[in-house]
Structure 1
Amino acid sequence: MIELKDVSKSFTLHNQGSAVIPVMQNATLSVQAGECVGLTGASGAGKSTLMRVIYGNYLAASGNVVVGGVDVAKAAPREILALRRDTLGYVSQFLRVVPRVPTLDVVAEPLLAVGTPADQARDKAASLLAQLNIAERLWSLSPTTFSGGEQQRVNIARGFAYEYPALLLDEPTASLDAQNRATVLALIAGAKARGAAIIGIFHDEAARQQVCDRFVDVSDFAPKAAA
C-alpha cells in the first residue's frame, strides 16, 4: 500500500547563496495493509520530513513514493489531491482549518468530500467527537478558539472520520490524558483491523509498542556524509 524506493530529499537555502542541504538518501520502506510501522530516530533525524514527502508536502529529489498505486514523487497536483481525498489521511501535530467553520463540519468534511450523505457524515463526526471528550456545546464553534489539547483531539477525529486505506500519524498521543490516549490507540487498532496501512511517529514508548508491528530508524536514511 505504501512503498518507498531509494527516496532522497534535500533543501535549497535561497537566502544563503542557494546552498543545497541533503537531508535524506536512499530511503526505502514498505508498509502493507493492516500494518503499523513506527518511525524512530533522534529529534531532527527526519521523521516528520519523511512523512511530508509521503504526503506530497515536500517533493522528493529522487526515487519513488508509491501510495495506493500513485507515485507521489511524480504525480500531478490534481492526482495528489485525489489521493488525499480517497486514500491517504494525515494526522499532523497541528490543526489547520478555515476559521469560523463549526467543529462538527470540520470533522465531517473528509466524509462529505467522498460523497457520504450529510446526515451520516455528521453522525460519524459527532460519535468521534464524543469518544474524544469534546463537549457537545463546542461542536457548533470553530476549533480555532479551542485549547491546544482540544484542537489535537479534533484533528484526530477528523483524521479517523473517513476510513482511509493509508494513514500517516505524527504524534497522535502526545499530551493526551490516559482516557483520550486509550481512545486514540483503540482507533489506531481499529484502522489496522480493517486493513489500513499506517506509518506513525510515537515518542510515547508504551503507545508505539502497543500499536506498531515493527520499527524503521530514519537515521539509516541520513546522507552518508552526515551519517
Structure 2
Amino acid sequence: MLKISGVSKSFTLHNQAGVKIPVMSEAHLSVSAGECIALVGPSGAGKSTLMRMAYGNYLVDAGEIWVGDVCLSSASPRDILMLRRQTLGYVSQFLRVVPRVPTTEVVAEPLLALGVEREVAHERAITLLKALNIPQRLWSLSPMTFSGGEQQRVNIARGFIHTYPVLLLDEPTASLDAENRAVVLSLIEQARARGAAILGIFHDEAAREQVCTGEIDVSQFL
C-alpha cells in the first residue's frame, strides 16, 4: 500500500549562500495492508521529513514514493489532493483549521468532502468526539480555542473518521493522558484490523510495542 524506494532529500539554505543540507539518502521501506511500521531514530534523523514526503508536502530529490498505484514523485497536484481525500490520511501533531468553524464540522469535513450525507458524517464525528472525551459543550466551538491536548484529540478524530487505506501518524499519543492514549491506541488497532497500512512516529515506546508490527531506523539513511 505504501512503498518508498531510493528516496533522497536535501534542503537548500537560500539565505546562507545556497548551502545544501543533505537529510536523507537512498531511503527505502514498504508498508502492507494490516501493518503498522514505526519510524525510529534520534532527533534530526529525518523521521518527520520522510513523513512529509510520504504525504506529498515535500518533493523528493531522487527515488519514488508509491501510495497504492499512485506515484507521488510524479503525480499532479490534483491527483495528490484526490489521493488525500480518498486514500491517504495524515494525523500531524498540530491542528490547522479555518477559524470559527465548529468542532463537529472540522471532524466531519473529510466525510463531507467524499459526499457522505451531513447527518451521517456528523453522527460519526460525534461518536469519535465522545470516545476521545471532548466535552459536548465544546462541539459547537472552534477547536482553535481549545487546549493543546484537546486540539490533538480533535485532530485524531478528524484523521480517523474516514477509513483511509493508508495512514500517516506523527506522534499520535503525544500530550495525551492515559485514558485518551488508550483510546487512540485502540483506534490504531482497529484501523490495522480492517487492513489499513500505517506508518508512524511513536516516541512512546510502550505505544510502539502495543500497536506496531515493525520499525525502521531512519538514521541508516543519513
Q: TM-score range by the shorter chain?
A: over 0.9
Q: Please say if 1:22 is aligned against 2:22.
A: yes
Q: Which residue of 2 aligns with 1:157?
A: 157
Q: Please say if 1:82 is aligned against 2:86.
A: no
Distance in 2 (CA, whole Å) between partners of 1:63 and 1:117 is: 40
Distance in 2 (CA, whole Å) between partners of 1:195 and 1:118 is: 26
What secondary structure does 1:8 align onto?
strand
Distance in 2 (CA, whole Å) between partners of 1:20 and 1:53 is: 18
Conserved 8 A contact 2:148-2:175: no
What secondary structure does 2:144 align onto?
helix
What secondary structure does 1:98 align onto?
coil
Alignment of 1:44-55 (within 5 A): 44-55=44-55
What secondary structure does 1:93 align onto?
coil
Alignment of 1:173-184 (within 5 A): 173-184=173-184
Residue identity matched to 2:160:
F
What secondary structure does 2:11 align onto?
strand
| Over 3 Å off, 4+ runs | none
Distance in 2 (CA, whole Å) between partners of 1:21 and 1:69 is: 31
Residue identity matched to 2:34:
G
Deviation at 1:176, TM superposition (A): 0.8
Distance in 1 (CA, whole Å) between partners of 2:189 and 2:220 is: 27
Residue identity matched to 1:15:
N
What secondary structure does 1:5 align onto?
strand
Equivalent residue pairs, number: 222
1:34-68 CA-to-partner distances (Å, cap 9, x unmatched) read 10000000011110100000001110001000002
Supply the RMSD in Å over aligned alpha carbons. Answer: 0.5
Q: Please say if 1:191 is aligned against 2:191.
A: yes
Distance in 2 (CA, whole Å) between partners of 1:73 and 1:103 is: 34
Q: Please say if 1:99 is aligned against 2:105.
A: no
What secondary structure does 1:52 align onto?
helix
Q: What's the TM-score once normalised by structure 2's chain length?
A: 0.99
Residue identity matched to 1:128:
L
1:182-214 CA-to-partner distances (Å, cap 9, x unmatched) read 000000000000000000111111000000000
Q: Name structure 1 gaps, 5 residues minimum.
A: 223-227
Residue identity matched to 1:13:
L
Deviation at 1:154, TM superposition (A): 0.2
Distance in 1 (CA, whole Å) between partners of 2:76 and 2:61 is: 15
Q: Which residue of 1 aligns with 2:213?
A: 213
Residue identity matched to 1:112:
L
Deviation at 1:75, TM superposition (A): 0.8
Q: What's the TM-score once normalised by structure 1's chain length?
A: 0.97
Q: Please say if 1:133 is aligned against 2:129.
A: no
Residue identity matched to 2:146:
F
Alignment identity in percent? 68
Deviation at 1:19, TM superposition (A): 1.3
Q: Name structure 2 gaps, 5 residues minimum.
A: none
Distance in 2 (CA, whole Å) between partners of 1:12 and 1:56 is: 18
Distance in 2 (CA, whole Å) between partners of 1:53 and 1:116 is: 29
Distance in 1 (CA, whole Å) between partners of 2:161 and 2:210 is: 22
1:89-135 CA-to-partner distances (Å, cap 9, x unmatched) read 00000000000000000000001111111100000000000000000
When structure 1 is superposed on structure 2, of 10-19 and 120-129 the one drifting more is: 10-19
Q: Which residue of 2 aligns with 1:225?
A: none
Residue identity matched to 1:144:
M
What secondary structure does 2:85 align onto?
helix
Deviation at 1:168, TM superposition (A): 0.3
Distance in 2 (CA, whole Å) between partners of 1:219 and 1:189 is: 27
